[in-house]
Amino acid sequence: MSWLERIFAKHPQPGADRPLRATAPREATHHVGNAKQRYYEMKVAAMAAEMRYVYGPFGPGIEARYDSAQTTDSNQRYWAATDILSADAANSLSVRKTLRERARYEVANNSFLRGVVLSLADFVVGRGPRLQIDTGNTNLNRKVEIAWMKWATAIRLGRKLRLLHMARTQDGEGFGVEKTNAKLPTPEKLDLLLVECDRVSRPWDLNYADMIDGITLDEADNPVSYFILNAHPGDNIRIGGDVVLDGDDVPAASVYHWFRRDRPEQHRGLPDVMAALSLLPMLRAYGLAVVKAARTAASISGVITTEAPANQEDSELQPMETIELEDDMLTVMPGGAKMGQVTPQQPSTTHSEFVRVTQAEGVRCLCMPYNLAAGDSSKFNYSSAKLDRETFQRRVGIEQSDLADEVVDRLTEHWLAEAQMVEKWPQKVLDAPREYMWDGPKRLDPREANADETDLGDGKKGLYRLYAEEGLDADTELAKEAELMGVSAEEYKKLLLAKRFGPKAPPAPVAKNATTGMDGLTADEGQAEEGQPGDGTDATGAEEE
């Protein structure tokens, strides 16, 4: 039965099951005509709906199609696992649990993959970020930045961020929770406690529109709270072997969730190495088999062949029997028996190329070039290695920007709120723009230094940008160099100005007031200029006596 016939069967002619009433011929004809008209309109509407469903809005007249949308005998098994699940349904608790357990196992046992995870965290986080704040006051900027660096060092922020990124690469997501640590040596006691993603779960509640496995959402899809278990589900030591699924709802403002979003409306993460879990484990197994085969061939082992009939009872050698050989000795074989050593077949001549290509494909999901993942650039020339590194550095810059927005800046904002109360800094410290400097790539080619010098002379680049590309603060580095040379910072800048522009250098700018950081203004004038008269503090943030 065709689809058109099925529509007619579903929608029989109105009034077909009852006889027409006895009326005048004209009335009967009019009644029959109305019934047929209604039946025809119903058929047309049903046909149009069916055509829109099957053929789309353009109807069957267009015969264009996509080869990838065809299901054939040769590809139906390959596409059998496809589904229409949403992002949260596809990333269910059972799926995430299986993937992170397998990823943890492979990272722990695969030396290549473990090195990739460690190197990726080193590239993205490095030694950790450095705060750069612009309050309009040089001395106040320096004071805030030094205090922030002392606090970041005390809580070991760089190490925690590296571990957070490793958790995202391996487990799919990393979580941090703000805690008060009274043992910190700094006046600010804010600390960041990392927890495994296994603890952020509410398995007894199904996924609802406003709750996704422990994450409560508002109408705008913003996290409101995170349910964090008091103990790890796999911890059978601290809780005496009984897993008690009890926890607390922690406000989202105190929780940091670091994961990669691959789909809209996705709220939980999958391991970044997920795509490599079907390839790299088999490569590791293949590598072990090759090593075992080579070891067997290199050992003193062989096969004894004899011309004697099989299962001959009086033969000195029986099938599958083994004999021991001693080092540095000659062995006399029984009559008719010959010994031959195992012929080595592994590794093959294309082994290294096969391994290299497979490893490169495995780490491509991390946007990491092979020479950085393997730590081997022997097959590359300098230009090729540099080109791959520049592409990777662009990805690293994106990750650093996201990490600063989602984790570092939020944490810094909460630290500033606490530090302002302790240090009595002015309100402008909280409102000042902030940015973070990360470790930059080292320059290996001397020609790059010459190009930077040319750009400095042409005005295409400035010292601040050059230092920023290296992940350094220009003011700090210039002050260190001036102190090393035994001159003031202003004198050192004049020397750099003369070197850059020669004897026709423009006059040096007016030195800023050491107290206010403004050109030729006193403390009172500086506050009036900023529109902050009588705020009870000087420009460095100290209270007036």
For the chain, give every domain's residue range. 3-61, 91-299+350-439
* Band (516; pLDDT cuts 50, 70, 90): very low
Lowest mean pLDDT across 129-133, 489-493, 523-527: 523-527
At 428 the three-state DSSP class reads: helix
Residue 307 one-letter amino acid:
E
CB 182 within 8 A of CB 201: no
CA 429 to chain centre: 32
Mean of pLDDT values over 45-51? 69
- Whether 530 has a pLDDT exceeding 50, the answer reads no
- Whether 439 has a pLDDT exceeding 60, the answer reads yes
The string of pLDDT tens digits covering residues 90-131 is: 999 999 999 999 999 999 999 999 999 999 999 999 999 999
DSSP string, 121-170: HHHHTTT--EEEE--S-HHHHHHHHHHHHHHHHHTTHHHHHHHHHHHHHH
Distances from the Cα of 4 to the Cα of 42, 53, 54, 396, angstroms: 12, 13, 12, 57
- Whether 31 has a pLDDT exceeding 70, the answer reads no
The string of pLDDT tens digits covering residues 355-388 is: 999 999 999 999 999 999 998 888 888 888 888 8
The string of pLDDT tens digits covering residues 334-359 is: 666 666 666 777 788 888 899 999 99
The string of pLDDT tens digits covering residues 205-241 is: 655 667 888 999 998 999 999 999 988 888 866 555 4
Lowest mean pLDDT across 8-17, 18-27, 219-228, 325-334: 18-27
- Alpha carbon distance 454, 465 (integer Å): 14
CB 408 within 8 A of CB 161: yes
The string of pLDDT tens digits covering residues 138-193 is: 889 989 999 999 999 999 999 999 999 999 999 999 999 999 999 999 999 999 99
Residue with the larger pLDDT of the pair 132 and 348: 132
Percent of the chain with pLDDT over 70: 68
- pLDDT value for 27: 45
Q: Where are the alpha helices (DSSP H) in 15-128?
A: 25-55, 87-90, 93-109, 111-124
Q: 132 burial class (0-12, 13-18, 19+ CB within 10 angstroms)?
A: buried
At 10 the three-state DSSP class reads: helix
Mean residue pLDDT across the chain: 78
Mean of pLDDT values over 424-446? 86
* Band (511; pLDDT cuts 50, 70, 90): very low
Residue with the larger pLDDT of the pair 326 and 289: 289
- pLDDT value for 124: 95
DSSP state of 521: -
* SS3 sequence of 226-282: EEEECCCCCCCCCCCCCCCCCEEEEEHHHEEEEECCCCCCCCCCCCCCHHHCCCHHH
- pLDDT value for 9: 60
- pLDDT value for 112: 94
